[in-house]
Structure 1
Amino acid sequence: MDGKIPAYLYEKRNSIKTILFTALFALLFINLFQPFGSRDWYPGISDTKYFAFSSLIILTGMLVVVISRMILTAYSKKRDVLYWQYVLWILCEVVSMAVFYTLFARFFPKDGIERDISEIFRQSLFNTALVLLLPYAITWLYFSWKEKSTLLEHIEQEKSADTRAKTLIAFPDEKGDLKISVMLENLLYIESADNYATIFYLNKSGVSKFLLRNSLKWMEEHLTKDTPLIRCHRSYIVNMDKVKILKKIKGGIVLELDEGRTPDIPVSKTYYESFMHKFSHYSLI
């Protein structure tokens, strides 16, 4: 209980989702379950008016949760939220909302008959606990599953990246004779000129290059599938694992590699769409 709660329980984005889902759940709960025999309180109104009236009550009561979550989000930025603190926080939300509905039932009694306030509070506490704890539990399970899925996906991507890094890329000439092989983790980019291609790669002395008689089109067709290699220009194939910065300038988009002794690589309009599709797998947007 002294441990720190997961960040997904108080992140602003998830807090908004929790509030919206709880409000929706509460609306369905009060209109389907009709706690306190609330439908009998107003026998003379239509179901539509009852829905509108009950919705207003629920949304007003949800202000307790909205205020609570705003305070929790602000508090979490300054201090860690422990499990016992979070449990106490939820209990305070339940009690606060129960008090709200108790006061409402007290000041707007059924048929003008006043009921015992302790009985009203017990019923309010029970129903409020259902209204809050059930959707909270559902959202917590969802957020937990989402985080674990993201973590597993990240692990798989790391494994895939490690596998790719150990891949040896073979470069034959136009006759099919092998001329050079480069570890993918050392390959920077490939630049072409007519029927020749220059392979830029890292070795012990820094950036080296190797001139090969073969077309960039052949390399695009045979080397870019299931690898981070992508053609971004009629004259360039780049290793996405080596791209440090994608920068939009007046003339278009350029790529800066993580090796300082390399030029910026342009992305042309012809290859923009296919490049951005592959780039999306390497970014968090």
Structure 2
Amino acid sequence: MEVLSNKIPKYVYEKSNIIRLILLTALFALVFINIYKPFNSPNWYNVSELKFFIFSSLIILTGVLVVVLSRICMYYYGRKHSISYSAYGVWILTEIFFMSLFYTIYTLVLNPGRDWMGVFKESAINTSLVLLLPYSALHLYFSYKEKERMLLVLEKNKEDSAAKQAVFSFYDEKGDFKLSVKRNNLLYLESADNYVCIWYLNKGILSKFMLRNSLKAIEELMSDTHVLRCHRSFMVNFEQVKVIRREKDGIYLELGIDKVPDIPISKTYSEKVTHWFMSYSS
């Protein structure tokens, strides 16, 4: 019962998908009735093949008109309200009812002697096939295309995220761009009064750039990266960290790069940093 109360995907009543549904349903109905001739349909009317094609096409156009009106209402209703699976099922049953009613009226006009209840039952069966078969196929197609679109969006987001993290860009306190460093070349950042010293490798040589900004501001900008705060005065690119070492006077990070000092970890950040390092290393 919970499934019936769930909302149908919005792509069901998107304008482009509604147009596809109407056109393909009409084409399927035309092929279905005129080629496969279900339920001995040539005997429904005592006419020639050509006239049967004309009459069946007229009925199909009438049926499509029902679907057109129904889906237009669904499109505008869906823009303001969500539609549950149960409501959508009732909506389709309503389409079948009115299409069957139109078909029954056509039949009784051409052959008044037929039993209207029998005609309506027969038309309901055929109308259900004409609608439900293409509807099922189209909804599977729409679902597949939607999942394909979502996968492409996820892949694009991953690519964009990777591209953003491939290079670290640094801005001063006024928001002006000052420096970009490749992720693999960034080592650590050190607070120095109103400046931040950015230590990085430039052609294998240890280099420093003085940026007028606070370490706290940079920490907020780099919250989704592997550059973490480990001390009141330091942030470190943990992709460069090789060892965490405990000494009598505290815990230190080793980057294993010549002329780069060991970076201290303060008690405030020790648990968070060591836990993150162990998780990242594994």
Q: Normalised by the size of structure 2, how large is the TM-score?
A: 0.58
Deviation of 1:209 (Å): 6.6
SS in 2 for 1:62: helix
Deviations 1:183-218 (A, max 9, x none): 1x63xxxxxxxxxxxxxxx434421279xxxxxxxx
Deviation of 1:41 (Å): 4.8
SS in 2 for 1:5: coil
Deviation of 1:117 (Å): 1.3
Aligned length: 175
**Which aligned segments of 4 or more residues in structure 1 are displaced greater than 6 angstroms?**
none
d(CA) in 2 for partners of 1:35, 1:59: 18
In the TM superposition, 1:1-20 aligns within 5 A as 1-20=4-23
SS in 2 for 1:4: coil
**Of the candidates 204, 207, 212, which is equivalent to residue 177 of structure 2?**
207
Q: 1:139 to 1:54 in 2, by over 3 A?
A: same
Contact 2:171–2:179 under 8 Å retained in 1: no
Specify the code of the residue in structure 2 equivalent to 1:102: T
2:159 counterpart of 1:160: yes
C-alpha RMSD over aligned residues: 2.0
Partner of residue 43, structure 2 = 40
**Of the candidates 92, 96, 99, which is equivalent to residue 94 of structure 1?**
96
SS in 2 for 1:208: strand
Specify the code of the residue in structure 2 equivalent to 1:104: Y
**Of the candidates 47, 63, 66, which is equivalent to residue 64 of structure 1?**
66
Partner of residue 120, structure 1 = 119
**Of the candidates 25, 29, 38, which is equivalent to residue 28 of structure 2?**
25
Deviation of 1:34 (Å): 2.1
d(CA) in 1 for partners of 2:145, 2:179: 44
Deviation of 1:6 (Å): 0.4
Structure number with larger C-alpha Rg: 2
d(CA) in 2 for partners of 1:108, 1:43: 10
Q: 1:209 to 1:41 in 2, by over 3 A?
A: closer
Q: 1:12 to 1:55 in 2, by over 3 A?
A: same
Deviation of 1:22 (Å): 0.3
In the TM superposition, 1:207-246 aligns within 5 A as 207-208=177-178
d(CA) in 2 for partners of 1:58, 1:28: 10
In the TM superposition, 1:274-285 aligns within 5 A as none
Specify the code of the residue in structure 1 equivalent to 2:93: L
Deviation of 1:158 (Å): 1.1
Partner of residue 135, structure 1 = 134
Deviations 1:60-112 (A, max 9, x none): 22111111111111111221111111110001111111111111111112xx7
Deviation of 1:36 (Å): 5.0
Q: 1:101 to 1:115 in 2, by over 3 A?
A: same
* % identical equivalent positions: 44
Partner of residue 207, structure 2 = none
Unaligned runs of 5+ in 1: 168-182, 187-201, 211-285
Specify the code of the residue in structure 2 equivalent to 1:126: I
Specify the code of the residue in structure 1 equivalent to 2:178: S
Deviation of 1:161 (Å): 1.5
d(CA) in 1 for partners of 2:132, 2:36: 16
Q: 1:54 to 1:33 in 2, by over 3 A?
A: same
Deviation of 1:152 (Å): 0.5
